[in-house]
């Protein structure tokens, strides 16, 4: 057996997926390209979220705050500083979400389990209520418009659909690839292993000299930064930053995506974000009672398939491999 077999295995499915993603705008048309893009954007956010849930064992019910902070940062930069550069948007959003997640994180990481969840939820609603009430700054429920940005200094063409489905798609795809690579490095670094040690046994981790609270805080901030980056990418795509993305039920959707894909798996959150985006797009298109449909899916999912889609895939692969 060759020594680098695991690497070959990864490449065996990574290359086809990469080719499919690269070819998508020319093959599937603008509707699917846009849906795919929403999936990629949420994928970045949920990947960040899962650093907390899957790797550190902390369930945040407040990630809408960091995602929304990213999106609103873009809207503010457009409205008050007349900036149009996407690179500056990304930098600004990451900076703002890092600051907010640092402040919130200092409070939240003192707790674990259910209290951590409630506290992240309550703090995220501070941002929501501010966005909702200071309507002369934030546009209230109408939200703020986000026009098409310039990418790498090149101003967008006049056809918005063309811009979103081609230039912006590849831009998002590139950022997505970088984010996945960075997250891969993080979870496989000594830092990532320390987080998993904390998740599996807090006391033992402390005994071998891991400073639990500091590690949790760093994980929290990294997680918030990913969510903020996703929010920044989402804002031009959606064209509007509204308080809807700050309400705690959106945090619930983020948790939903992670569990749908399988939070014990590295790529589970990405798969979950894709699956959820398609599920929601079709459910919303099909019926006004899409919440009913998604809620039922969620309940059935946690009852029957708690390890999510990737858990199911692993099960099937294991079955196939078993010698007959």
Query: CA-CA distance, 255 to 121, in Å (whole number)?
Result: 12
Q: Which is nearer to other proteins, 237 or 247 (CB)?
A: 247
CA 251 to mean position of chain CA atoms: 10
Torsion of CA 166, 168, 172, 174, to 10 degrees: 70
If binding is defined by CB under 8 A, does position 69 make contact with other proteins?
no
DSSP tag of 155: P
Residues 6+ apart with CB under 8 A from 78: 84, 144, 145, 146, 147
> C-beta of 154: minimal distance to other proteins in Å?
40
Query: CA-CA distance, 172 to 156, in Å (whole number)?
Result: 15
Is 166 within 8 Å of 34 (Cβ atoms)? no
Is 55 within 8 Å of 192 (Cβ atoms)? yes
If binding is defined by CB under 8 A, does position 134 make contact with other proteins?
yes
Reported as type and span, the H/E element at residue 293 is: helix 290-304
Q: Which is nearer to other proteins, 86 or 254 (CB)?
A: 254
Q: Which stretch binds other proteins (CB under 8 A): 142-150, 216-224, 231-239, 250-258?
A: 250-258
Q: Which is nearer to other proteins, 299 or 317 (CB)?
A: 299
If binding is defined by CB under 8 A, does position 264 make contact with other proteins?
no
Among 61, 176, 226, 250, binds other proteins (CB under 8 A): 61
> C-beta of 246: minimal distance to other proteins in Å?
12
If binding is defined by CB under 8 A, does position 130 make contact with other proteins?
yes
Q: Radius of gyration of the chain from Cα atoms?
A: 20
Among 298, 305, 313, 314, binds other proteins (CB under 8 A): 298
If binding is defined by CB under 8 A, does position 117 make contact with other proteins?
yes
Q: Which is nearer to other proteins, 128 or 176 (CB)?
A: 128
If binding is defined by CB under 8 A, does position 24 make contact with other proteins?
no
Is 162 within 8 Å of 148 (Cβ atoms)? no
Query: CA-CA distance, 205 to 154, in Å (whole number)?
Result: 49
Q: Which stretch binds other proteins (CB under 8 A): 40-48, 192-200, 237-245, 293-301?
A: 293-301
Query: Which chain residues interact with other proteins by CB under 8 A?
Result: 53, 59, 61, 107, 110-111, 113-115, 117-119, 121-123, 125-126, 129-130, 132-134, 247-249, 252, 255-256, 259, 288-292, 294-299, 301-303, 306
């Amino acid at each position: 057996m060759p020594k680098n077999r695991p690497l070959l295995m990864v490449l065996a499915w990574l290359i086809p997926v990469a080719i499919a993603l690269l070819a998508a705008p020319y093959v599937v048309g603008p509707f699917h390209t846009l849906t795919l893009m929403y999936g990629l954007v949420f994928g970045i956010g949920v990947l960040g979220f899962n650093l907390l849930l899957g790797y550190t064992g902390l369930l945040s019910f407040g990630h809408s705050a960091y995602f929304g902070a990213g999106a609103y940062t873009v809207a503010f930069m457009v409205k008050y500083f007349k900036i149009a550069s996407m690179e500056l948007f990304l930098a600004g959003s990451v900076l703002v979400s890092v600051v907010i997640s640092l402040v919130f994180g200092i409070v939240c990481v003192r707790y674990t389990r259910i209290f951590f969840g409630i506290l992240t939820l309550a703090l995220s609603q501070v941002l929501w209520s501010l966005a909702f009430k200071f309507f002369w700054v934030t546009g209230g429920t109408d939200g703020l418009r986000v026009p098409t940005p310039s990418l790498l200094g090149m101003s967008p063409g006049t056809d918005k659909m063309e811009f979103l489905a081609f230039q912006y798609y590849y831009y998002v795809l590139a950022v997505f690839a970088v984010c996945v690579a960075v997250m891969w490095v993080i979870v496989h670094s000594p830092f990532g292993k320390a987080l998993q040690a904390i998740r599996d046994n807090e006391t033992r981790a402390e005994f071998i000299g891991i400073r639990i609270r500091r590690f949790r805080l760093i994980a929290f901030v990294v997680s918030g930064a990913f969510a903020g980056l996703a929010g920044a990418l989402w804002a031009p795509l959606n064209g509007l930053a509204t308080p809807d993305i700050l309400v705690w039920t959106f945090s619930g959707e983020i948790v939903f995506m992670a569990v749908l894909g399988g939070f014990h798996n590295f790529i589970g959150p990405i798969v979950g974000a894709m699956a959820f985006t398609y599920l929601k797009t079709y459910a919303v298109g099909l019926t006004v009672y899409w919440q009913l449909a998604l809620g039922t899916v969620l309940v059935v999912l946690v009852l029957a398939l708690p390890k999510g889609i990737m858990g199911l895939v692993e099960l099937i692969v294991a079955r196939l491999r078993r010698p007959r």
